[in-house]
Amino acid sequence: MRPVEIKKDVFWVGCIDWNGIDFHGYSVARFGTTYNAYLVKDEKITLFDTVKAEFRDEFLDILSQVVNIEDIDYIVANHLEPDHGGLLAELVERAKPEKIFCSPMGQRAIEAHFHPQGWPIEAMKSGSSISLGKRTVQFVETRMLHWPDSMLSYIPEDKLLISNDAFGQNVAASERFADELERGFLKRRMMEYYANIVVPYSPVVEKTLDGVADLKLDIDMIAPDHGVIFRGTEDVNFALDTYREFAEQKPANRAVIVYDTMWHSTEKMAKAIADGLLDEGVSVRIMHLKSYHHSEVMTEVFQAGAVLVGSPTHNNGILPLVADMLTYMKGLRPQNKIGAAFGSFGWSGECVKTITEWLESMSFEMIDPVKTKHVPDRASLDECVELGRAVGKALKAKIGA
């Protein structure tokens, strides 16, 4: 790839991972991702972040198309996770920068990751700034969005916010800007990213958005470290408003039914529950865990107001894929959900109790579960339909429909 000048003397110098499969534990096999880095040519030539170490040769090539690496004066490390700091040590060795700027927590991260000797590190607290010559860079700490060391870099002269992981999406594309992609496609990619990485830190997102508003930053470009760049007032507002919407986690009139099944009894129950939800006018998605990666399920969970989880009893518990999904979901801590458990059993029947305890531990508003011995008969399926209706009624009451 070639560098892209996104502002006068400001260049995208990232790498595209066309074949990316795994990203922070979730699947991006269909769309890949990018590792974005940015270079500013000013009196002090400044590099913002690096890329994943596997892309060393590509990164050094694209960077060298803009500048002699040895001429880089400053490096800004907005975040030290390996997909951003993967080549930091090599760049320090080759460029021998005058200064390396990071957050106070970033300094600890650098020390823990690289054990540096004599690096010219300067920790920048929120509100501090540096001069590049014609430009200044203002720093805003965003602790736990989504690591303790995360920060944003704002260049007021260019109205440019280099946002690190915030506003990112996993999209491997030749296009560099949001206005070059279809809006619905882009929002879906933003949602997948948010639902699988950022959602536990939604209070930090709201605080950050409020802080950006309080600072009255004049922004006409947001350049994240993954995916495409938002340029112009309309797209910048779209990015900000979308993140505000995501962070609020308002329940929607949607339900997702997540299950695994052994001999199809639990599957039959899932379909009957869906009928009950449809009777109440609730949009439904049924997802068999043998067919969907947990990251795909989590994106549906994120945008649903109700989550119903089913499993047969297996070894006095639940099937492994259901346990995997519940573990993953609990770690991401989605809010404002109605939940219910269902399942079939042969003799002991612990499945619904186990699932209910998991959902309760996530503070879901629970509806009484349904379980069936062996194969559900008509009466059992009617119970499942009633469960769907009960969840639908509770959901409509919650959203005021």
Q: Would you please indicate which residues are annotated as catalytic (active-site) residues?
A: 24, 79, 81, 83, 146, 165, 193, 226
Mean pLDDT of 136-146: 90
Q: What is the CATH number of the domain that holds 268?
A: 3.40.50.360
| Residues 228 and 294 grouped into a single domain | no
Q: What is the pLDDT of residue 392?
A: 96
| Residues 12 and 92 grouped into a single domain | yes
Q: Of 248, 273, 288, which one is at a domain's C-terminal end?
A: 248
| Residues 243 and 259 grouped into a single domain | no
Mean pLDDT of 13-40: 80
Q: What is the pLDDT of residue 303?
A: 93
CA–CA separation, 354 and 368 (whole Å): 13
Tell me: cis bond preceding 146? Omega within 30 of 0 counts. yes
Are 328 and 197 contacting, i.e. CB atoms less than 8 angstroms apart? no
Name the maximum alpha-carbon separation found in the chain: 77
| Residues 21 and 138 grouped into a single domain | yes
| Residues 267 and 234 grouped into a single domain | no
| Residues 346 and 205 grouped into a single domain | no
CA–CA separation, 390 and 373 (whole Å): 21
On the question of pLDDT at 2 being above 90, the answer is yes
- Alpha helices for 249-290 (secondary structure H): 265-279
Overall domain count for the chain:
2
Both tokens of 114, joined, read: 């690289």
Q: Of 193, 222, 248, which one is at a domain's C-terminal end?
A: 248
Q: Of 206, 230, 248, which one is at a domain's C-terminal end?
A: 248
pLDDT classification of 314: cutoffs 50, 70, 90: confident
Q: Phi/psi at 73 (nearest 5 deg)?
A: -90, -45
- Alpha helices for 216-368 (secondary structure H): 232-248, 265-279, 294-303, 320-332, 351-361
Q: What is the CATH number of the domain that holds 186?
A: 3.60.15.10
- Alpha helices for 86-150 (secondary structure H): 88-95, 104-114
Are 257 and 286 contacting, i.e. CB atoms less than 8 angstroms apart? yes
Q: By three-state DSSP, how is residue 226 classified?
A: coil
| Residues 197 and 278 grouped into a single domain | no
pLDDT classification of 145: cutoffs 50, 70, 90: confident
Q: Is 114 exposed, middle or buried (0-12, 13-18, 19+ CB in 10 A)?
A: middle
| Residues 314 and 365 grouped into a single domain | yes
What domain range includes position 173?
A: 4-248
pLDDT classification of 216: cutoffs 50, 70, 90: confident
Q: What is the pLDDT of residue 24?
A: 62
| Residues 391 and 283 grouped into a single domain | yes
| Residues 226 and 127 grouped into a single domain | yes
| Residues 232 and 316 grouped into a single domain | no
On the question of pLDDT at 214 being above 90, the answer is no
Q: By three-state DSSP, how is residue 356 classified?
A: helix
Can you name the residues that pair with 22 across neighbouring β-strands? 27
205-214, 234-243, 281-290, 342-351: least confident range: 342-351
**DSSP letters of 40-64?**
E-SSS-EEE----GGGHHHHHHHHH
Q: What is the pLDDT of residue 28?
A: 53
Q: Phi/psi at 340 (nearest 5 deg)?
A: -155, 150
| Residues 259 and 244 grouped into a single domain | no
Question: Who has greater pLDDT, 243 or 29?
Answer: 243
Q: What is the 3-state secondary structure (H, E, C) of 173-221?
A: CCCCEHHHCCHHHHHHHHHHHHHHHHHHHHHHHHHHHHHHHHHCCCCCE
Both tokens of 190, joined, read: 């933003």
